[in-house]
């Protein structure tokens, strides 16, 4: 049921809790439910009021934390993070929360999203003597805060955050205070909950359900929530701009049992599948979804068309770093590493294969081949979102326009490349209808940058080159 | 998509390969696809023609095997096993394959199923001087073979196997030969495949798909397949009796992408769901399945009734021994360890909850409560199989009649206990229709012992007491 | 200070405790002090009066036991073992204590020593239907006990032990009783101690010192000590024969802080060094010992000759399985893996290098070369024991006569092979004088089999061939 | 043979190699031989000319590096470090080499020694916006280098190093260059060697011996050695000041097989023991040393006095983090964790116990008690160095004057406290004579700060308070 790496990867999930005797343990479980947002590092910082305690490591949560590690994280406040990282920079030093110590005390910091003006800010800071120890964009905030030497954490943030452009849910914690902040467009989700007297904050509401916390509300764009001994306080560090919640969170990234701005993700996906069926019906015998993220859309498609939904593809759940990968020779001999087609289901059938996205096109091509090799008579590919024609700069790893197949080929050319019998995408309007955010209402806009090339924030020159100009 | 422990647990999965240069690796991947059949131990024995090489350990496959372990398993023939074990006997010594060394050479042995006359045979052997080092019933076969001192492995088996009563897929391997055998009733599945020139044998066909092997046929009840330098030979060690393939394999145990006797498991489950809908329809807003094994039946139910299928329950996939379990205190405070209800899907709705079995009833009760706590207005429980009223003696861990709720309470009493608004089971005939085995044909019977109390084999006195007599 | 593998390896160390609330922990520390007797496996069995609990694994004690493992070993009686194994048979199944379960209860068993008639007994037992699961000679005892079906553990032992020929300290434990037994010649050491009200038994007295226990006495040849709820009882299972305590224990195997039959091992070694100096003095500038086991003898040699003792050789203590071994290329380039010569000490000097044994001669040759490469002007090799000219059948791994250099070459030939400037061995009489056992007294004999070819027990035909006939 | 933690702990060992195809592997073995200088963290950085590769972790070298880790460190240059850390700051972030990335490239940095003006420099840097991510004094150098924005690494160092006061062997490495530097007083050792065409640098020469490298010379105080594609270059970053090589390196810290400024450490220690015997002879039966570091001195003492050297104390070598520590209860019941007295050697004897230092006095007291409990009739404590009466600020962890027993009590008071029959220290002159550095020659001075309170460098105010004023 969890999204898998396939060319679209979000960077990170956040969880924080304020005022609970089992803060570290609850953060561990909260992070477990956010594991799909980052699988290359996990960390927890706690405060016992006197001192910060930290444990973090590379890998899955169960790899990064061993028996006993939680016991060494005392205190009633905790901040946790799971990290996704592109190859080569997945070292320990980039695992979050980052942790800084100075004469004035300690600071821990965790971040979900991506800053588009990171490179420029970093150059500037380095020129004036700053040393960066990580290659994360997250560290920039610490340096900016340090340059504004207010004594108050909240004032440091109010001065530093407006210098950032991009997507960010930030959480910073000192011995005495926890502050979370959401960027002015609200590109990434961030929700507030309550567990008894304790406050919890998480990237997705599924974390609340797991630990038995109640959802309170979503953090607002440009809002800072301050937690300290006096309670919780809401402040603004800037005016909110037009809301631009990432569409991809609904389509692909978030867990189906999470609600984003009170819209359930599974339900939204099923509606996308139904809408797709309305726009791009086809005569077929079975509908199947590409696990895990496209199952809901496939069920919606089946329901709308009355074509039976079947389990035509199954995922092999190799878990963790200790799994022994097959040799290249074995892979070529046909050992399936991610998906298998279920011959008993697809043989001799006309199959509708519902997926949620095509990035480079190679995965889709492989799945079509799997189905045909298992005897499918026809394979009709249906994508429950519009074509991705531009890169994302806000925390999803979709590389450059050049590498996006839909930016460079027509739908018919793509269909041919992947060997499908037909290929259809959902329309932009269909996407909006399916998700069901009423964007005539305030704060209900959504980012469609990867589908349209229209980005909610400025894009610095260095980045602009990545946008390039595809065929569409 | 894999079955989870909930009071019904099968003991073990087998995989063997004869004549492939990457025998150990392929067995590792084959066992991975059988991981759902046993999660407490895994082992592989290979033969390089001169010597047997073995590696096995407790835990999941990824815990039992580390980088490098496969490299120390040379040879073109391999035999692997994943083990389920009840608490207290999950020690290393019981992990299979068992491995015996004598002056005449080595013998490795793996077993799926359960022998009902184990206790009597063991007492007898002990009285005449045998020492048992494991508490598995598997070891009995080695002692029986030893007592019949033919030089030929196949003759030893032909003399020993007929003394066993119960369910068994056995695989035994020496330096020079591999033999697999299926009990006379064929209670457990065992299939033969081919991968290039190599032969493969597996408890389920999903193992073939993963490694790219082709399905050839199922092993027949009472049949022995012998693999050696001269090729493959089929022999009978006894007459086949009336076929009695375990129904529960279709309902609950096998992977949905496996075919058992050429019937796809997902498809069978979906038909069970449809049949259930025909027998026990209900007015409702959403259908949801208990993950993972009941999803297919729930989709079938939804398809038949036109009530939408939704993701109302989600499983938390804590993986492996290194996951840190929540304290009792946290569990009581509401940290969910196995399933969460998806509030966004079930709130205010009349929910049909499809499950495949009720053993003690406590799990069902908990799930009904989860759904109601998440706001479900009504919860209608539908079980895609008949009530389990008698224990299984053939390798599924369903304890005694006394502990089986359906043996001791009426359906209405059960409904009340679990707090559901209605509760219905599939009929015995509905089960047969749904699975679709044509039992008027030869070799197409199935074991319904747990649903009817009518067992295909004799049941020794010691065991009989466990059957007891429930209310039904 | 601990002996290292160099062609002489003893099989195993035993530790047992009866009647202490921390039985498992104390056994762990006891085994730690016996680690030099076996580094390839470690195990502990405890009894809580109801049931046996076991944990064992391959590797060093710190590798075999992890945090928490001791907590799962409840009970006031414990039996532990560390194992040395020759390559190829170091698998888990051979790690001791062995553990057998039958209808009558459980039996755990641990063994130090070697049975010379193992092969014959095993063949016989296999012919009558016994199955062996290990390749240890230890298992034979269990089968012999089983054949004699007395109800009493002590009676089973009294019938089974006399059938064994060879060296053995055995410990067997059931839920209710612990029995230790020493072979009729007392070839291996076994001592009894007390810790408060608890009894302890160990292969060497150093284990008593570590845990703060007091030495009581040594177990006598042919004696059985029975520990149960009624206390401790001494019985004889056979008449004691002429005592034959292994000389090599003094020379090489035991820890220098142990006392064997009340003679301190370090002191004995120092006396051997002094005696060697008396027999084979030489003009030289420095004396150095081969660490660790020859340090004491070297100090004795220096003291006797007034040549200064210096640290001319130093050992590199690579510890455990996780140490990354150098590639062959690096080894050839001069990366030292076991010993380094200390140039600052030996350069330009005439060096006396004291060692305790020469087996194949290759190690001595390498050390002479190390010293010469580091600038030693002369290297005079002095061995603090007589030449080893025959194999040991009692638990020391010294292979066949053919492989023993001293059996096949004269002292002068050996000197030349190893490139030393002189080579001298201690005489047989010097060995006796040095150790200081008064063999005119009863029970004070010692085994000199490897130095003389005269063995205290019969040697079966199969073994006799190994003895062969060297040049001497 | 390696020093053990007992209140005197040095911070760190360095190893670097320039121009060898197996750079990472050789650094691993080099660090292994320096393991005694730091056991709480280990790391290696390599450069392949394009990029730096790093692996480091907490714990012993064998804990920090696993199979495969070295394979991921390509390149012909490598820099390694083993770290000692005081409790509480032993986290991963402080493990060295430190690693900094900026737009201009990467920088790795390792350090042995201690900076006395660290606190002042850090405050100043923080006030101007620097963020420190570690609590090591090492990081200060990176910030100072960054503030001087020369393009040339060597120029950055020439500007930054003179601002530092204290003891330091530094090694810094970029993609293209390796530079090592020794502080102007040469407080810590640092030697240059050669292995074929490759250069090696190490804190102690024992690392050269292990890998088969040849010693070339020691790095000079105030000297920088630059290694790059053009070869090796010596430069001065400052004038050398009066040499002040740490005396404690000879007495206690260094490995006995290392040479410091061409004086062998074992030999120096033995001379200290002889000198001690001349100054403080006593009537006794045996001499014993406290393992491991005092063995050489004890042998010298024995040689000088003709009292036999015996193995009266033995160390228990618990290795690594996985060793299970005894409960407090067991410790109180007498489980010995570090040292055992050898009863067979000391019982009824007058014992000279030679040690190399007394810090808090508690260890000595415990050892005297061990010996007396084992039956020693008299215990005469002889210390092969003068009393430690002042703290060290240069990288040895000897806390404050208040905690130093010799600063606050007379020798007679100390003797009484520890229950010894006599107690004598070596004189300052005896120390100089024993080590044998001819300090009338240039560059042959040594630091005696901890014995005299006269420090070679200025001591900042904050630190001065620690000096306090003991009774002497």
Q: Is A206 a catalytic residue?
A: no
Query: What is the predicted pLDDT for the residue at C199?
Result: 98
Residue C72 sits at the chain D interface (C-beta within 8 Å):
no
Query: What is the predicted pLDDT for the residue at B319?
Result: 67
Question: Is residue C468 very low, low, confident or very high in pLDDT (cuts 50, 70, 90)?
Answer: low
Residue D323 sits at the chain A interface (C-beta within 8 Å):
no
Query: Tens of pLDDT along D350-408?
Result: 999 999 999 889 899 999 999 999 999 999 999 999 999 998 888 876 667 788 899 99
Contact call for residues A96 and A109 (beta carbons, < 8 A): yes
- CATH architecture of the domain formed by C263-467: 3-Layer(aba) Sandwich (3.40)
Diameter over CA atoms, chain A: 71
Instruction: State the helix-helix crossing angle for A295-305 and B295-305, rounded to 10 degrees.
Output: 20
C-alpha to C-alpha distances, B302 to B296, B371, C351, nearest whole angstrom: 10, 18, 91
**Is the pLDDT score of B148 beyond 80?**
no
Instruction: Give the C-alpha separation, B2 to B5, whole Å.
Output: 10
Residue C68 sits at the chain B interface (C-beta within 8 Å):
no
**Is the pLDDT score of B367 beyond 80?**
yes
- Tell me which of D92 and D50 has the higher pLDDT: D50
Q: Please judge whether C100 and B146 are an interchain contact, meaning their C-beta atoms are less than 8 angstroms apart.
A: no
Instruction: Give the C-alpha separation, D428 to D432, whole Å.
Output: 6
Contact call for residues B165 and B175 (beta carbons, < 8 A): no
Query: What is the predicted pLDDT for the residue at A442?
Result: 76
Query: Tens of pLDDT along C205-227?
Result: 999 999 999 999 999 999 999 99
Task: For residue A322, give the nearest of B66, B210, B311 by CB distance.
Answer: B66
In chain D, DSSP finds a helix count (H) and a strand count (E) of: 17, 23
Instruction: Give the C-alpha separation, B201 to D221, whole Å.
Output: 72
Q: For residue B198, what are the β-bridge partners?
A: B195
Q: Contacts of residue D323 in chain C, CB cutoff 8 Å? A: 62
Task: For residue B99, give the nearest of C93, C102, C128 by CB distance.
Answer: C93
Mutate to test the interface with A, among B23, B35, B310 (most CBs of A within 10 A): B310
Q: CA-nearest residue of chain D to B66?
A: D67
Strands A378-383 and A350-355: parallel
Closest CA to B85 of B105, B65, B117, B56: B56
* Token couple for C153: 């553990």
Roughly how many angstroms between the first and final C-alpha of chain C, as a whole number?
A: 33
Instruction: Give the C-alpha separation, A117 to A110, whole Å.
Output: 18
Residue C71 sits at the chain A interface (C-beta within 8 Å):
no
**Is the pLDDT score of B2 beyond 60?**
no
Task: For residue B131, give the nearest of C102, C122, C123 by CB distance.
Answer: C102
Q: Which residues contact B88 (CB under 8 A, 6 or more apart)?
A: none
Contact call for residues C34 and C203 (beta carbons, < 8 A): yes
Q: Please judge whether B99 and C128 are an interchain contact, meaning their C-beta atoms are less than 8 angstroms apart.
A: no
pTM equals 0.85
**Is the pLDDT score of B8 beyond 60?**
no
Could you say which DSSP state residue B109 is in? E
Candidate list C6, C8, C11, C12, residue with the active-site label: C12
Please list the residue range(s) of chain A that carry CATH number 3.40.50.2020. Answer: 259-317+334-467
What integer is the mean pLDDT of A453-468? 79
Question: Is residue C203 very low, low, confident or very high in pLDDT (cuts 50, 70, 90)?
Answer: very high
Candidate list B3, B7, B12, B202, residue with the active-site label: B12
Q: What is the DSSP string of D258-301?
A: -EETTEEHHHHHHHHHHHHHHHS----SEEEE-TTTTHHHHHHH
Cβ neighbour number for residue D338 with a 10 Å cutoff? 17
Residue A233 sits at the chain D interface (C-beta within 8 Å):
no
Candidate list A8, A12, A23, A200, residue with the active-site label: A12
Query: What is the predicted pLDDT for the residue at B370?
Result: 94
- Give chains near D: 3+ CB pairs under 8 A: A, B, C
Residue C87 sits at the chain A interface (C-beta within 8 Å):
no
Query: Tens of pLDDT along D195-208?
Result: 999 999 999 999 99
Closest CA to C392 of C251, C269, C296: C251
Instruction: Give the C-alpha separation, D85 to B452, whole Å.
Output: 69
Query: What is the predicted pLDDT for the residue at C118?
Result: 87
CB burial class (10 A; 0-12, 13-18, 19+) of residue B199?
buried
Q: Do you find a cis peptide bond into D97, omega within 30 degrees of 0? A: yes
What integer is the mean pLDDT of C19-35? 95
Strand stretches in C59-134, DSSP E = 77-83, 98-102, 105-115
Please list the residue range(s) of chain B that carry CATH number 3.40.50.2020. Answer: 263-317+336-467
Query: Tens of pLDDT along C57-96?
Result: 888 898 899 878 899 999 999 999 998 864 334 577 788 9
2.60.40.420, 3.40.190.10, 3.60.20.10, 3.40.1160.10: CATH of D13-241? 3.60.20.10
Contact call for residues C2 and C36 (beta carbons, < 8 A): yes
Q: Which residues contact D105 (CB under 8 A, 6 or more apart)?
A: D174, D175
Strands D178-182 and C41-47: unpaired
Contacts 24+ apart (CB under 8 A), B361-366: B361/B405, B361/B406, B361/B414, B361/B417, B361/B418, B363/B6, B363/B7, B364/B418, B364/B420, B365/B417, B365/B418, B365/B419, B366/B339
ipTM for the predicted complex comes to 0.89
Query: Tens of pLDDT along B269-303?
Result: 999 999 999 999 999 999 999 998 899 999 999 99
Residue B71 sits at the chain D interface (C-beta within 8 Å):
no
Question: Is residue D149 very low, low, confident or very high in pLDDT (cuts 50, 70, 90)?
Answer: low
Q: Give φ, ψ of C94 to 5 degrees.
A: -95, -10
Residue D71 sits at the chain B interface (C-beta within 8 Å):
no
What integer is the mean pLDDT of B376-388? 97
* Token couple for A182: 């959401």
Question: Is residue C3 very low, low, confident or very high in pLDDT (cuts 50, 70, 90)?
Answer: very low
What integer is the mean pLDDT of A326-334? 80
**Is the pLDDT score of B339 beyond 80?**
yes
Q: Report the percent of chain C where pLDDT is more than 70.
A: 93
Question: Is residue B216 very low, low, confident or very high in pLDDT (cuts 50, 70, 90)?
Answer: very high
What integer is the mean pLDDT of A356-383? 94
Considering A335-344, B56-65, C194-203, C431-440, the range whose residues carry the highest mean pLDDT is C194-203
Residue position matching structure tokens 């394999």: B249
Question: Phi/psi zone of residue D49: left (φ > 0), alpha (ψ -120 to 50 degrees), beta?
Answer: left
Cβ neighbour number for residue B202 with a 10 Å cutoff? 31
- Three-state secondary structure call for residue C227: strand
Question: Is residue A58 very low, low, confident or very high in pLDDT (cuts 50, 70, 90)?
Answer: confident
Write out the binding residues of C for [4Fe-4S] cluster: 246, 392, 447, 450
Q: Which residues contact C387 (CB under 8 A, 6 or more apart)?
A: C358, C406, C407, C411, C425, C451, C472
Each residue of D30-50: b (16+ CB within 10 Å) or e?
bbbbbbbbbbbbbbbbbbeee
Query: What is the predicted pLDDT for the residue at D10?
Result: 54
Query: Tens of pLDDT along D160-198?
Result: 999 999 999 999 999 999 999 999 999 999 999 999 999
Alpha carbon B105 to its chain centroid, in Å, reads 32
What integer is the mean pLDDT of D77-99? 78
Query: What is the predicted pLDDT for the residue at A75?
Result: 96
Lowest mean pLDDT among A205-209, B174-178, C322-326, D415-419: C322-326
For chain D, give the mean pLDDT.
89
Alpha helical stretches, state H, B57-193 = 61-64, 118-127, 139-147, 153-160
What integer is the mean pLDDT of C300-318? 92
Question: Is residue B471 very low, low, confident or very high in pLDDT (cuts 50, 70, 90)?
Answer: low
Contact call for residues B241 and B222 (beta carbons, < 8 A): yes
Task: For residue D103, give the nearest of A123, A134, A143 by CB distance.
Answer: A123
Query: What is the predicted pLDDT for the residue at D267?
Result: 95
Question: Is residue B7 very low, low, confident or very high in pLDDT (cuts 50, 70, 90)?
Answer: very low
Instruction: Give the C-alpha separation, B287 to B376, whole Å.
Output: 12
What integer is the mean pLDDT of B73-77? 96
Each residue of A143-159: b (16+ CB within 10 Å) or e?
bbbbbeeeeebbebbbb
Question: Is residue C4 very low, low, confident or very high in pLDDT (cuts 50, 70, 90)?
Answer: very low
Instruction: Give the C-alpha separation, D433 to D429, whole Å.
Output: 6
Instruction: Give the C-alpha separation, A286 to A345, whole Å.
Output: 8
Mutate to test the interface with A, among D67, D68, D133, D146 (most CBs of A within 10 A): D133
Q: Contacts of residue A100 in chain D, CB cutoff 8 Å? A: 131-133
Q: Please judge whether A131 and D103 are an interchain contact, meaning their C-beta atoms are less than 8 angstroms apart.
A: no
Query: Tens of pLDDT along A158-172?
Result: 999 999 999 999 999
Query: What is the predicted pLDDT for the residue at B470?
Result: 62
**Is the pLDDT score of B445 beyond 70?**
yes
Mutate to test the interface with D, among C33, C195, C285, C314 (most CBs of D within 10 A): C314
Residue C257 sits at the chain D interface (C-beta within 8 Å):
yes
Chain C 150-179, CB below 8 Å of chain D: which residues? none
Lowest mean pLDDT among A440-454, B454-468, D57-71, D180-194: B454-468
Q: Which residues contact C9 (CB under 8 A, 6 or more apart)?
A: C84, C86, C396, C397
CB burial class (10 A; 0-12, 13-18, 19+) of residue A236?
middle
- CATH architecture of the domain formed by D259-318+327-467: 3-Layer(aba) Sandwich (3.40)
Alpha carbon D298 to its chain centroid, in Å, reads 21
Alpha helical stretches, state H, A204-339 = 206-211, 247-248, 265-279, 295-305, 328-332
For chain C, give the mean pLDDT.
89
Task: For residue D101, give the nearest of A99, A135, A143 by CB distance.
Answer: A135
Residue D100 sits at the chain A interface (C-beta within 8 Å):
yes
**Is the pLDDT score of D7 beyond 50?**
no
What integer is the mean pLDDT of C266-284? 97
Query: What is the predicted pLDDT for the residue at A88?
Result: 37
Q: Give φ, ψ of D211 to 5 degrees.
A: -95, 5
**Is the pLDDT score of B3 beyond 70?**
no
Q: CA-nearest residue of chain D to A108?
A: D133
* Token couple for D343: 């009863």
Q: For residue C172, what are the β-bridge partners?
A: C109, C179
What integer is the mean pLDDT of C280-295? 95
Instruction: Give the C-alpha separation, A323 to B44, whole Å.
Output: 15
Query: What is the predicted pLDDT for the residue at A118?
Result: 87
What integer is the mean pLDDT of A191-212? 95
For chain B, give the mean pLDDT.
89
- CATH architecture of the domain formed by B263-317+336-467: 3-Layer(aba) Sandwich (3.40)
Q: Please judge whether A129 and D147 are an interchain contact, meaning their C-beta atoms are less than 8 angstroms apart.
A: yes
Q: Please judge whether B327 and A211 are an interchain contact, meaning their C-beta atoms are less than 8 angstroms apart.
A: no
Residue position matching structure tokens 């799930």: B367
Closest CA to D392 of D47, D116, D110, D186: D116
What integer is the mean pLDDT of C16-34? 95
What integer is the mean pLDDT of C161-177? 95
Q: What is the CATH number of domain A259-317+334-467?
A: 3.40.50.2020
Instruction: Give the C-alpha separation, C407 to B5, whole Å.
Output: 64
What integer is the mean pLDDT of B391-405? 80
Residue position matching structure tokens 């990282």: A85
Alpha helical stretches, state H, D419-471 = 428-435, 449-452, 461-467
Query: What is the predicted pLDDT for the residue at A299?
Result: 96
Q: Please judge whether C266 and D28 are an interchain contact, meaning their C-beta atoms are less than 8 angstroms apart.
A: no
Please list the residue range(s) of chain B that carry CATH number 3.60.20.10. Answer: 13-241
- Tell me which of C447 and A315 has the higher pLDDT: C447
Q: What is the DSSP string of B375-436?
A: T-SEEEEEESS----S---SSB----GGG-HHHHS-HHHHHHHHT-SEEEE--HHHHHHHHT
Q: CA-nearest residue of chain D to C62?
A: D323
**Is the pLDDT score of D329 beyond 90?**
no
Could you say which DSSP state residue C252 is in? I
Query: What is the predicted pLDDT for the residue at C351?
Result: 98
Lowest mean pLDDT among A126-140, A165-179, C285-299: A126-140
Q: Contacts of residue D70 in chain C, CB cutoff 8 Å? A: 324
* Residue B206 in marked binding region: no
Alpha helical stretches, state H, A381-453 = 405-408, 411-418, 428-435, 449-452
* Residue B357 in marked binding region: no
Q: How many residues does chain B have?
A: 472
- Tell me which of D8 and D80 has the higher pLDDT: D80
Q: Please judge whether B322 and A266 are an interchain contact, meaning their C-beta atoms are less than 8 angstroms apart.
A: no
* Token couple for C356: 């305790």
- Give chains near C: 3+ CB pairs under 8 A: A, B, D
Query: What is the predicted pLDDT for the residue at A329?
Result: 83
Strand stretches in A84-163, DSSP E = 98-102, 105-115
Q: Please judge whether D143 and A128 are an interchain contact, meaning their C-beta atoms are less than 8 angstroms apart.
A: no
Instruction: Give the C-alpha separation, D37 to D4, whole Å.
Output: 9
Question: Is residue C1 very low, low, confident or very high in pLDDT (cuts 50, 70, 90)?
Answer: very low
For chain A, give the mean pLDDT.
89
Q: Report the percent of chain B where pLDDT is more than 90.
A: 66
């Amino acid at each position: 049921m969890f999204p898998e790496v396939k060319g679209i990867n979000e960077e990170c999930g956040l969880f924080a809790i304020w005022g609970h005797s089992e803060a570290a343990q609850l953060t561990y479980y909260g992070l477990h439910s956010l594991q799909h947002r980052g699988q290359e590092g996990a960390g927890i910082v706690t405060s016992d009021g006197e001192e910060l305690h930290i444990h973090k490591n590379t890998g899955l949560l169960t790899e990064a934390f061993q028996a006993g590690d939680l016991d060494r994280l005392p205190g009633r406040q905790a901040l946790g993070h799971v990290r996704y990282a592109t190859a080569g920079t997945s070292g320990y030093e980039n695992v979050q929360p980052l942790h800084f110590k100075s004469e004035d005390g300690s600071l821990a910091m965790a971040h979900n999203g991506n800053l588009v003006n990171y490179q420029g800010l970093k150059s500037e800071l380095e020129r004036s003597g700053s040393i960066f120890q990580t290659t994360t964009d997250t560290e920039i905030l610490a340096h900016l805060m340090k340059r504004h030497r207010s004594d108050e954490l909240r004032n440091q943030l109010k001065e530093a955050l407006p210098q950032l452009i991009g997507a960010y849910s930030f959480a910073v914690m000192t011995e005495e205070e926890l502050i979370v902040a959401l960027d002015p467009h609200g590109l990434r989700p961030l929700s507030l909950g309550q567990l008894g007297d304790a406050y919890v904050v998480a990237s997705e509401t599924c974390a609340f359900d797991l630990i038995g916390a109640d959802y309170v509300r979503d953090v607002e764009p440009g809002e800072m929530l301050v937690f300290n001994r006096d309670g919780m306080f809401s402040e603004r560090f800037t005016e909110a701009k037009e809301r631009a919640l990432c569409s991809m969170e609904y389509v692909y990234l978030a867990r189906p049992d999470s609600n984003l701005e009170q819209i359930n993700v599974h339900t939204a996906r099923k509606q996308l599948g139904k809408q797709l069926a309305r726009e791009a019906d086809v005569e077929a015998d079975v509908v199947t979804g590409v696990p895990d993220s496209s199952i809901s859309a496939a069920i919606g498609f089946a329901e709308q068309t009355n074509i039976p939904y079947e389990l035509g593809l199954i995922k092999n759940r190799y878990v963790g770093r200790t799994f022994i990968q097959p040799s290249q020779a074995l892979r070529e001999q046909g050992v399936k590493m991610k998906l298998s087609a279920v011959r008993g289901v697809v043989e001799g059938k006309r199959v509708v294969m519902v997926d949620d996205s095509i990035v480079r096109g190679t995965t889709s091509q492989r799945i079509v081949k799997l189905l045909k090799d298992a005897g499918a008579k026809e394979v009709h590919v249906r994508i429950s979102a519009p074509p991705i024609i531009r890169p994302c700069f806000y925390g999803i790893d979709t590389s450059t326009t050049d590498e996006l197949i839909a930016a460079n080929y027509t739908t018919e050319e793509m269909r041919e490349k992947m060997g499908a019998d037909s290929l259809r995408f959902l329309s932009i309007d269909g996407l909006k209808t399916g998700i069901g955010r009423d964007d005539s209402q305030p704060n209900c806009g959504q980012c469609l940058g990867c589908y349209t090339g229209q980005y909610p924030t400025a894009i610095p020159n260095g980045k602009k080159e990545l946008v390039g100009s595809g065929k569409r």
